[in-house]
Chain A
Amino acid sequence: MTADGGPELVQLLTPEGERVHHPEYDVDLTPEELRGLYRDLVLVRRIDAEATALQRQGELGLWAQLLGQEAAQVGSGRALRPDDYAFPTYREHGVAWTRGVQPLSLLGLFRGVTNGGWDPRERNFALYTIVIGDQCLHAVGYAMGIQRDGAEQAVICYFGDGATSQGDVNEAFVFSAVYNAPVVFFCQNNQWAISEPLERQTRIPLYQRAQGFGFPGIRVDGNDVLAVLAVTQAALAAAREGQGPTLIEAFTYRMGAHTTSDDPTRYRVAADLEAWKLKDPIERVKVHLARTGMADAAFFSSVEAEAEELAVHLRDGCRALPEPPPTSMFDHVYAEPHPLVSAERAEFERYHAQFAGGAS
């Protein structure tokens, strides 16, 4: 496997910020739209950096960093229509941003005040899924529902290179193929599944797996927001038009650790990191905007200022996230009354009522 993604890599903006063309995929964006993507990328990176800092300060128990994957997430997220539906892993903070999910609501799970954090129906953005690959089957099921409703919508399912080894992901490929479900499988190949390199998951490029399941696979430069946008738009359109699933392999790199609990210095070399820094997803857009005169210094500093504001909002908001009342653990275990849960809740309340103040 080639470290640079090989000749099949779809690219529209080179790491040097040069706009190039591809015979099949293209986007035609206004300067305002391009500036919008830049703003997304910067703000998403700032959310990630702030959450990482909050973990270091003890405000979050854990954080799964997306550093380096901003273009893959923003490009694919911005390809979605509001009525499309996205199924994330636990690292899709950038996709959440594009869906309009409040960044603060992403922190609750990692602070330990909720196992969810938002109403998935409001933004058609499912809750984070922690068991690797489970959400791919949910995405296909949802897409099967779209077919039965006769709706013109598509589903996008996020997962990583490690997840491609999971049975559920392969079963999702099978189900989507035989039912021709309107789903786009968006694999962020960030080269590492915690400490295991891609070679521990596959012998062939991941996008080529699609062929064996009977649908198209595409490898895109995951650090190129324009290429990701173009490729994802095309795949979603195909899904909506009844052409079934597509596998997109966004070739990228996890610049940070797997999570804040991980120590990548134990298993990978610094030289790789340095090489990938040259392919930074944000820098190339900045260079392109500046070089073409689509943005000036005032624009870049306004985005920086907005990012700082967002960071302050996250910092203050994180510390102010309300702790759930202890009895809330008994809420919503079942949708309908359940005598055991009711009895245990009463027993919990009785126990705590013995002490000054009670628990509630």
Chain B
Amino acid sequence: MAVTTMAKALNAALRRALESDDRVLLMGEDIGKLGGVFRITDGLQKDFGESRVIDSPLAESGILGTAVGLAMRGFRPVVEIQFDGFVYPAFDQIVSQVAKHHARSSGATRMPITIRIPYGGGIGAVEHHSESPEAYFAHTAGLRVISPSNPFDAFVMLQQAVASDDPVVFLEPKRRYWDKGEVDVDADLASAMSPYRARILRDGTSATVACYGPMVRTCLEAATAAETDGVSLEVIDLRSVSPLDVPTVVASVRRTGRLVVVHEASVFLGVGAELAARVTEECFYSLEAPVLRVGGYHTPYPPSKLEEDYLPDLDRVLDAVDRALAF
């Protein structure tokens, strides 16, 4: 067990993936000598060569499109999109090809492609560097969408994504890259928790707070603050957006009677909306209050001087909890 950052845990996961399967390839912009703009691939090209850690031309659709061809040849590409807001040039290849190839070929052609995307705000970046595009991908059948919230999950879930025979959009909460946590670098993947299962990080009785990625830390801090007011929050790290582990959330809401869903992405037609609908369908009579959502607004991601007003924080989470409790 070692204490390390999420960035280093992701790097270690990629190294293990490259070591354990020689069909694994990394491809992306600046991932070679530079090690990626966030240094997630630091040192990997030096150790595994330019043939397996590939600096690509500056073209996102090209990265995804060639990954499809490499997958058809039996490779297992792990591609890096430099920032969330730059994934859209590749949207057609992801939605029309990566997601649909397996079904179109009646299972003959698998697409074991991992699409790593640093996402979310909170780092004072310029436009297009702080977005949360998960709903676009979750809405597309054929894709899996997961996001770790801590270094250990980052280490395990990225390896699980690479090992998956389905395409996985792997969303890395970039503002948590430098958060530290304990990582068991010898963790056995076979016995690891499924990346598609939610994890209850804190038991509580007053209300359930469901979140993922960068908002997990925010929600855990909110739960600690609430405790001093005698409010006991159950915090669930969803970990996966598609598939969504609804049973774990429903079981929690049956106990607490209240649910607040928190994410950075705008609430309109977001993960919170889906979760609210499903929880309402499955445990309507357990609910003491409507499911409430805390998230971004229906605006473009604002200039960074305003991002603190846009992003959910501890106070906005607690405000929603108060409203749910007062209902």
Contact = CB atoms under 8 A, between A and B. Distances in A.
Contact of B57 (A138, A145, A175): A175
A144 B23 CA distance: 13
B102 A172 contact: no
A285 B190 CA distance: 62
Given A119-B108, A120-B108, A139 B69 contact: yes
Contact of A172 (B65, B103, B165, B242): B65
Question: What DSSP secondary structure best describes chain A's contact surface?
Answer: helix
Contacts of A229: none
Contacts of B103: 115, 331-333
A139 B51 CA distance: 18
A148 B105 contact: no
Interface extent on A, as a size class?
35 or more
A171 interface: yes
B59 A145 contact: no
Contacts of A306: none
B267 to A, nearest CB: 21
B4 interface: no
Interface stretch (B9-17, B72-80, B117-125, B304-312): B72-80
A334 interface: yes
Interface in A233-264: none
Contact of A137 (B62, B73, B141): B62
Interface in B91-130: 92-93, 96-97, 100, 102-110, 112
B105 A119 contact: yes
B226 to A, nearest CB: 31
A262 B106 CA distance: 30
Interface residues of B, number: 46
Contact of B59 (A119, A139, A174, A340): A174
Contact of A335 (B67, B68, B165, B244): B165
B144 interface: yes
A74 interface: no
Contacts of A120: 72, 105, 108-109
Given A145-B73, A333-B142, A140 B66 contact: yes
Given A334-B166, A335-B102, A168 B51 contact: no
B325 interface: no
Given A147-B51, A149-B73, 20 more contacts: A116-B104, A116-B105, A134-B65, A137-B64, A138-B68, A141-B65, A141-B68, A141-B70, A145-B69, A145-B72, A168-B61, A168-B93, A174-B62, A175-B66, A178-B57, A331-B107, A332-B102, A333-B102, A340-B242, A341-B141
Interface of B: 25, 51-52, 56-57, 59, 61-62, 64-75, 89, 92-93, 96-97, 100, 102-110, 112, 141-142, 144, 164-166, 196, 242-244
22 contacts: A115-B103, A119-B106, A119-B108, A120-B109, A126-B72, A129-B97, A131-B92, A138-B65, A138-B68, A141-B67, A141-B68, A145-B69, A145-B74, A148-B51, A168-B92, A175-B62, A175-B66, A333-B141, A334-B144, A336-B166, A338-B144, A340-B243
User: What 6 A-B pairs have minimum CB-CB distances, sorted nearest first?
Assistant: A141-B69, A137-B65, A145-B73, A141-B66, A171-B62, A142-B69
